[in-house]
Structure 1
């Protein structure tokens, strides 16, 4: 793909790191296949790189390249790019870019407030611990710190000079009331309008603000903001003119399509090392082709393409998402402290391609029902053993499976007395499935359901639609790549709390 940058002409960039090309090591592409950035006169990137090195953080060439370009400055000293996006597969080292940018903002740039957010609190807290270790390990920086604050939900680092780096979990309301000079949005593949509406206006009163989005390939309906930014970048590539305020860096393969001829050289072979090198700049630094080969042998075809080759799914229009249950209505029911109480019911579902499967649990909680994804993994070979573990621990009132669905093939193995659970599986009929979907929907609209705001369940809801089932309806996926197995399993688990259960002959009444 054509590359646009103030530093370079539009041409194919080298695969290997220039300073390491002669050492015999294989390296991933240090500059991305897709890149756009506005013109810049100078850059603060080298200051960030040097400061990170003082703190013991040695950055790869590709990380340095992102900082030099993303922190480019106009002649008046303001940022050339208001928005910077780093789209790179997992475990390549995007965290190093975040840490270097935050260190610069605190100790050199004089940014009064830097807000670091992630989709889940545990991710934001982990980032806080990493940068704390860097600062504590550098006496010159540590002595400038007034306080490290560890209060849950208010983790932050404050300097004697007043600058603050604060870590928060994204939500509809997080970030409101703060005026941030710099916003760092980690895990940007899970980023919708609610979070953006809360965070972006905090920068309106700042003279020279900047926002960084960092994450991996799009995962469908949840990648609303990432899809929007990517469309801007691709439009700039198509037009041959840089976006005036966006710096975008994407490491991804451009895989063959069905129409490709056998000798196609324009697209990439998903099984090739070349595709891996193109999408993973950390090969030769913290990743190896051997480790990636193990992933290729284990992951599903789509999972490998997304997680390692950067081939994402991006919503074409944000209005196309959350068609059955609105995102705001669903998020409003999230309760971090909710948990199921006895009796509980479990359910299993899987995708038609058998690429992923989910186990969900439902139980009573505060006068309503708690629904939770217990397990969601690629493949199906893990299901029986995990079900046996859960059954022994929780002694649920029932397990529910739709015999007409893909998981119906598991019923015989699960009911086996010697190697399975040894209990009858509650098998739904069409009318039961319709009733379960209606009950789930009603519980949401009546605010009588709680959940943990888990990404697999939210992603399934965002990509689900209704399919007619007699006079009622059942869940269906809008496009083939959407995995709604967590939603189906959660719906059936909730229904299972009231289902008639066949008690084995002579069995004690546990409830």
Structure 2
């Protein structure tokens, strides 16, 4: 009523059921996963939800969480995506429009909801610190999930847009923990379907559907009471999915009705089918319109079974072993990884990741600290055709010996890592998910007569295994640098 928004039937149904309450008034679901085709009104849905959380729900349990501690946090793969919904809520509640109406356009004045604006304080619109703030202290902020979101804040309500874009668990792990200490917290994640790279969405969906299967097997058949089942399984996750049957053909109208609940409200199925004639890639239509999962198998460069055989949770380099650091950055420059390799006491090669963080600016200082702490003098990285090339010169200036992976080394590094894994002469600890994920989805391409790592066509970020491969190549193909010896250690000091 206040927003002047008419919701579509599927949006109303979803809000009613995803916001179901238990007898004590708290939410039935702590995490809500929504999968629906694009252009169905998900942005409008989230806008209404965020506004209701902020202006109404922030005062629901004053004895448990004060309004001034109530934070609504919106996030996505980047700030610009998260900001879309935030900006719409701001346009409806910005008190500056009431104070200085002449400074705003007629369209901006038209969408303002005065009753909401009167509850709001001056917002922060500075890039990087955007915040809608209410007189009661509640606020709505945004963050990029790739950077871990608001890692230090306790969050009451959270929205994750386009969860399919999360290719590692790093952002989700940091972000989801911000809700754990807050009474009656709730997180919504909304997206179209993903592909083999959408590991977070895929795993959450798989877990929820398995719980549904077990419920049907035990509770609906009478083998187990609902309370008993709930004591043994996590029933606080809600999955709401509109998707075409997995066998539905790409030109089957029925599949479009199944995955697009807004058909009949502004557009029709014929418009969606017409996109097929425009030359849009079939994979785009399947994932974003039909919400079908595209998980075509890949020809991975490394053998997954052999890699699993190389796992040793107690692996570590031998005391006094030659240690070499490896560095690599993803093709999109979003994440950088630092590895270390060194011989074990049994002669096998130990490898592990010792650092991973978003971006690249932190890398040189982190490598220098790791080298100084562990007495390491060597680092290996690709210095042609890769973002990591930027690290070579500053690391050399820092006094480290840089082994440059370029030319023929590009092929031999990828090939020798493949050989070591196949022959089981390499060991890793087995519990580093980003490294395991990189191995599962890393592909190679032919360059002249050899195969090299292919960052672009791999279905995951392969920088973790490339960092390991670089260090392993330097270990196997180079001699350790001669240690610097002062002349004073061999000769007497002569003072003239």
Aligned counterpart, 1:248: 239
The answer as to 2:210 corresponding to 1:230 is no
Using the TM superposition, name which of 465-474 and 245-254 deviates more: 465-474
Aligned counterpart, 1:148: 123
Q: Is the 8 A contact 1:92 1:286 kept in 2?
A: no
Map 1:245-394 to 2 at 5 A: 245-256=236-247, 268-297=248-277, 298-313=279-294, 329=337, 332=357, 334=359
Map 1:5-16 to 2 at 5 A: none
In structure 2, the CA distance between the partners of 1:487 and 1:237, relative to structure 1 (3 Å rule), is closer
The answer as to 2:147 corresponding to 1:189 is no
Aligned counterpart, 1:175: 150
> What CA distance in whole angstroms lies between the structure 1 residues aligned with 2:187 and 2:49?
11
The answer as to 2:411 corresponding to 1:434 is yes
In structure 2, the CA distance between the partners of 1:462 and 1:98, relative to structure 1 (3 Å rule), is farther
* TM-score when normalising by structure 1: 0.54
- Unaligned regions of 5+ residues in structure 1, if any? 1-52, 257-267, 337-360, 370-427, 439-458, 492-511
Q: Is the 8 A contact 2:78 2:146 kept in 1?
A: no
Aligned counterpart, 1:98: 46
In structure 2, the CA distance between the partners of 1:315 and 1:163, relative to structure 1 (3 Å rule), is farther
The answer as to 2:10 corresponding to 1:62 is yes
Map 1:82-231 to 2 at 5 A: 82-110=30-58, 112-136=70-94, 137-191=112-166, 192-221=168-197, 223-231=198-206
Structure index of larger Rg: 2
Q: Is the 8 A contact 1:89 1:310 kept in 2?
A: yes
Q: Is the 8 A contact 1:466 1:473 kept in 2?
A: yes
> What CA distance in whole angstroms lies between the structure 1 residues aligned with 2:205 and 2:296?
10
Cα distance, 1:335 vs. partner?
5.2
Aligned counterpart, 1:75: 23
In structure 2, the CA distance between the partners of 1:487 and 1:210, relative to structure 1 (3 Å rule), is closer
> What CA distance in whole angstroms lies between the structure 1 residues aligned with 2:243 and 2:195?
14
> What CA distance in whole angstroms lies between the structure 1 residues aligned with 2:151 and 2:29?
23
> What CA distance in whole angstroms lies between the structure 2 residues aligned with 1:167 and 1:470?
47
CA RMSD of aligned residues (A): 4.4
Deviations 1:258-303 (A, max 9, x none): xxxxxxxxxx232111111111112122432232122222222222
Cα distance, 1:236 vs. partner?
2.8
Deviations 1:2-58 (A, max 9, x none): xxxxxxxxxxxxxxxxxxxxxxxxxxxxxxxxxxxxxxxxxxxxxxxxxxx421222
> What CA distance in whole angstroms lies between the structure 2 residues aligned with 1:128 and 1:226?
23
Map 1:8-27 to 2 at 5 A: none
In structure 2, the CA distance between the partners of 1:121 and 1:315, relative to structure 1 (3 Å rule), is farther
Cα distance, 1:204 vs. partner?
2.0
- SS at structure 2 position matched to 1:85: strand
Q: Is the 8 A contact 1:115 1:165 kept in 2?
A: yes
> What CA distance in whole angstroms lies between the structure 2 residues aligned with 1:84 and 1:315?
27
In structure 2, the CA distance between the partners of 1:333 and 1:96, relative to structure 1 (3 Å rule), is closer
Deviations 1:322-350 (A, max 9, x none): 999796629736259xxxxxxxxxxxxxx
Aligned counterpart, 1:464: 442
- SS at structure 1 position matched to 2:129: coil
Q: Is the 8 A contact 1:118 1:124 kept in 2?
A: yes
In structure 2, the CA distance between the partners of 1:460 and 1:252, relative to structure 1 (3 Å rule), is farther
Aligned counterpart, 2:486: none
In structure 2, the CA distance between the partners of 1:152 and 1:81, relative to structure 1 (3 Å rule), is same
Q: Is the 8 A contact 1:56 1:134 kept in 2?
A: no
Larger helix proportion of the pair: 2
Cα distance, 1:436 vs. partner?
9.7
Deviations 1:362-383 (A, max 9, x none): 78996669xxxxxxxxxxxxxx
Cα distance, 1:171 vs. partner?
2.6
Deviations 1:294-313 (A, max 9, x none): 22222222222112100124
Cα distance, 1:93 vs. partner?
1.3
Deviations 1:141-164 (A, max 9, x none): 011111211111111100010001
